[in-house]
Structure 1
Amino acid sequence: MDYGKILTRAWEIIWKFKVLWIFGILASCGQGSSGGGSGGGNSGVQFKADEVNLHPGIRSFFSQIDRFFDNIDAWQVAVFIGGLILFMLIMGLLMTALSTIGRIGLVQGTVQAEEGVDRLTFSDLFTSGKPFFWRVFALNLIMGFIILIIMLIILAPVIGFTILTAGIGALCLIPLICVLVPLGWMISVVMEQANIALVVEDLGIIEAIQRGWTVFRENLGKMVIMALILGVGSFFIGITLALPIIIIAVPAVLGIVGGAIADSSSIIGGGLVVAMLCFVAYLPVLIVLGGILRSYINTAWTLTYLTLTTESTTDTEEPEIQTDDSETA
């Protein structure tokens, strides 16, 4: 397999058909998200701002938070936490749905580009992807839920043991992490192939998982190399995209430090406002660049799948051709 050809072709496709950037943005919606929640209130732990040497404005802010939690009832806390969990679930489903649309559009766009189409439109890709939506949605939702349950089953005893042993049990996490990291990587690659197989070959959920595993298992070495190329490359590009966010935080830090030295809440507020405005200005750029990166990665994986499955088909057909020739001779 020519890795350079696949990577070059992936860039040519997303540069020629920039509509795929939109699907890349959509596909990014469900990436790197977590289903964590938060809770608080009436926990018996209170922050006493007057016991810490803080700026008067900051002390007043924390004092107001302290009074707020002192004045709410337990049922209000329960309603708030329940509403927060419900909101997180709804947002998670919405993000998964948008990510599903993006995944399907990128796969179909890549396939059609390889078939030689001259033009791709959002409406055409969206319409042609409708028959696959619920299968891809269910595939990722079910597998995500199964992985979450498995992780909880594995980590819960370790966390409990760590608490009981005053942190000594955390040493057990080192070999566990050494096992979970490559396992998680393998699952992510198999799932990527399963998503592509479902759309390209119009398979059911179980058949797509089986097909993804087969392609991965039969081409393990090639999959590892491609995953390393895309993984390392996207890691460094992601760091580059995140650098402006670190720079954006500078006005906020300077404002807090300067405000504390000058005993001025206006300086603190000014620094925070400047940082927030810079972040809002950079956010669209970050979303677009992240979408381009996602469209490139998905396109490269789709081309990898098409290449490997084509090679596999060719290899299985060659013996038959040789047999026919020998019989003719």
Structure 2
Amino acid sequence: MHKFLVEISAGQNPKKMNNQINYIAIIKEAWQITWKNKYLWWFGLFVALSGGIGSNFSSGWKKENGWEEDAKQKISDWAALYWEWLVLGLILLILLMIVFSILNVWGRSALVVSLGRITAKEPVQEPMNFKAGMKEGKKFFWPILGLNLFLFGIGAATLIILGTPIAILFYLKAYWTGVFLASGGLIIFILLVILFSFLQKFGIIYLILGKVSFWSAFENAYALFRRNFWPSIIMGIIFIPLGLLAGLAALAFILAVLLIFLIPGLLAYFLMGKWAIIALIILGMLILIAGILAINSVYAVLAQTIWILFFRQIALPKEEEKVVEVIKEIKPAEITEVVA
């Protein structure tokens, strides 16, 4: 446990640390670990599941368009008629989000435990597998959930503190002052989100691999980020092209599935009717969902492996160079007689 805390108290020089980090080597090793240990992809799937939940809804309705008012009225009438189904659907959605969130925390814990054993480069008595990872990961479920809720609470409180005076200014029609404060508040909030993301990443690793207390993990995560600010930022920036590559892989998969199902779909429509095309659409959607989840799962494992390897480089104590001091033998001074 203490080997993860040595560097924090020692205070290594960030410039020296930055020169020692080979980011390309970290990514290569992380990919080899990800590809070799495919059981980790299941943990990545649990992590990726909750990342896909969410919806964006934007309305272009305006009062001057009559047909849009009619659409609003129809939706309102439908909601009033089937409100029981709406409530049931909302409850099911909330339950689904809770289940996915639990799987996210449990999968993240199991993934970090497994990667901690794999990247330790030390002989282990029991090899890790899916069952062992889930069993060990369960032990850290509540600490990780507590850390996530703690950071979320701080972020929500910060958003309320920053947003309340801005909302008051807009309510009082002080628009220019409100826009100025909103711009500054947005910058502050973005910086806090970046800070919290690193605190979460390092804090989870400290909780699991360092086996420290909740507050100790939080303090050490902050100290580690502060002492290795620029290396951490560089590693975070590297994830921008990595994320783009994952997105391009998902896009290529989507296009491939569309091309594969295009000709059979047209033939099915003309030869067998609409039910055949509906069946093909459902099959294609299932394949798309499975493929995108698989890509996200692999990417989640790769990303977590990169962060653990990076963490080991900046948190683990480095071997000190042996300094050999050569002390020349000092001969006694010769006494010479002074001739008067």
Of 64, 67, 74, the match for 1:52: 67
Q: Post-superposition shift, 1:112?
A: 1.8
Which residue, 24, 36, 52 being the options, matches 1:4? 24
Distance 1:229 1:243 in 2: 22
Q: Which of 100, 113, 122 pairs up with 2:118?
A: 113
Q: Structure 1's 137 and 69: CA in aligned 2 closer, same or farther, altered over 3 A?
A: closer
- Cα deviation, 1:246-277, whole Å, max 9, x if unaligned, reads 9999xxxxxxxxxxxxxxxx99x999998766
> 31, 44, 49: which is aligned to 2:51?
31
Choose from 48, 62, 68 the match for 2:78.
Answer: 68
State the identity %. Answer: 19
| Deviation of the 1:106 alpha carbon | 1.9
State how far apart, in whole Å, the 1-side matches of 2:239 and 2:293 are. 19
Q: Secondary structure at the match of 1:203?
A: coil
Structure 2 residue aligned with 1:131, among 117, 139, 143?
Answer: 139
Runs (4+) of structure 1 moved beyond 6 Å?
Answer: 45-49, 79-83, 243-249, 269-276
Q: Find the aligned partners of 1:136 and 1:130 in 2 and give their Cα distance.
A: 10
- The superposition leaves residues 23-45 of structure 1 with CA deviations (integer Å, 9 ceiling, x where unpaired) of 111122343756x999xxxxxx9
Question: RCO greater where, 1 or 2, for CA within 8 Å and sep 6 or more?
Answer: 2
Residues 197 and 208, structure 1, Cα contact 8 Å, conserved in 2: yes
Q: 1:66 to 1:96 in 2, by over 3 A?
A: closer
Separation (CA, whole Å) in 2 of partners of 1:48 and 1:272: 38
Whether 2:167 is the aligned partner of 1:162: answer no
Name the aligned partner's letter for residue 121 of structure 1. N
Q: Give the aligned residue type for 2:288.
A: Y
Q: Could you report, residue by residue, the CA deviation over 1:187-230 in whole angstroms, capped at 9, with x for unpaired residues? A: 10121000011111111111111121121111111111111102
| Contiguous gaps of at least 5 residues in structure 1 | 39-44, 250-265
**Residue 314 (structure 1) aligned with residue 318 (structure 2):** yes
Larger Rg: 2
Q: Which moved more, 1:172-181 or 1:284-293?
A: 172-181
Once residues 135 and 202 of structure 1 are traced to their aligned partners in structure 2, the CA distance between those partners, rounded to angstroms, is 10
What is the number of residues matched between the two proteins? Answer: 287
Change (3 A) 1:110 1:221: same
Native 8 Å contact 1:17 1:119 kept in 2: no
Cα contact 2:107–2:137 (8 A) shared by 1: no
| Closer/same/farther in 2, CA of residues 97 and 143 from structure 1, 3 Å limit | same
Aligned mates of 2:164, 2:255 — CA distance in 1? 34
Give 1:91 shift.
Answer: 3.9
Q: TM-score, normalised by structure 1?
A: 0.70
Structure 1 residue aligned with 2:305: 299
CA RMSD of aligned residues (A): 4.3
Secondary structure in 2 aligned to 1:52?
helix
1:122 to 102, 118, 130: 130
- State the match for 1:193 in structure 2: 202
Name the counterpart of 1:282: 288
- Return the offset for 1:239: 5.7
Aligned 1:196-275 pairs, distance under 5 A = 196-238=205-247, 241=250
Q: TM-score, normalised by structure 2?
A: 0.68
Do the aligned residues in 2 keep the contact of 1:104 with 1:133 (CA within 8 Å)?
A: yes
**1:88, distance to aligned residue in structure 2 (A):** 5.6
What are the ranges of 5 or more consecutive residues in structure 2 without an aligned counterpart? 1-20, 259-272, 330-340
Q: Equivalents in 1 of 2:159, 2:98: separation in Å?
A: 20
Give the partner amino acid of 1:286. I
Cα offset for 1:90?
A: 4.0
Aligned amino acid, residue 299 of structure 1: T
Aligned partner of 2:134: which letter?
F
Deviations 1:113-152 (Å, cap 9, x if unpaired)?
2236695310011112222122112211232233223223
Contact in 2 for aligned 1:11/1:296 (Cα 8 Å): yes
Give the residue type in structure 2 aligned to 1:183: L
| Contact 1:23–1:291 under 8 Å retained in 2 | yes
For 1:216, the aligned partner's letter is F
Secondary structure at the aligned position of 2:211 is classed as coil
2-side partners of 1:32 and 1:200: how far apart?
Answer: 28
CA contact (8 A) 1:96 1:141 kept: no
Give the secondary-structure state (helix, strand or coil) at the position aligned to 2:115: helix
Higher helix share: 1
8 Å contact from structure 2 (residues 41, 301) kept in 1: yes
1:258 is matched with none
Separation in 2 of the partners of 1:88 and 1:67?
Answer: 22
Query: Is the 1:14–1:296 contact (alpha carbons within 8 Å) kept by the matching residues of 2?
Result: yes
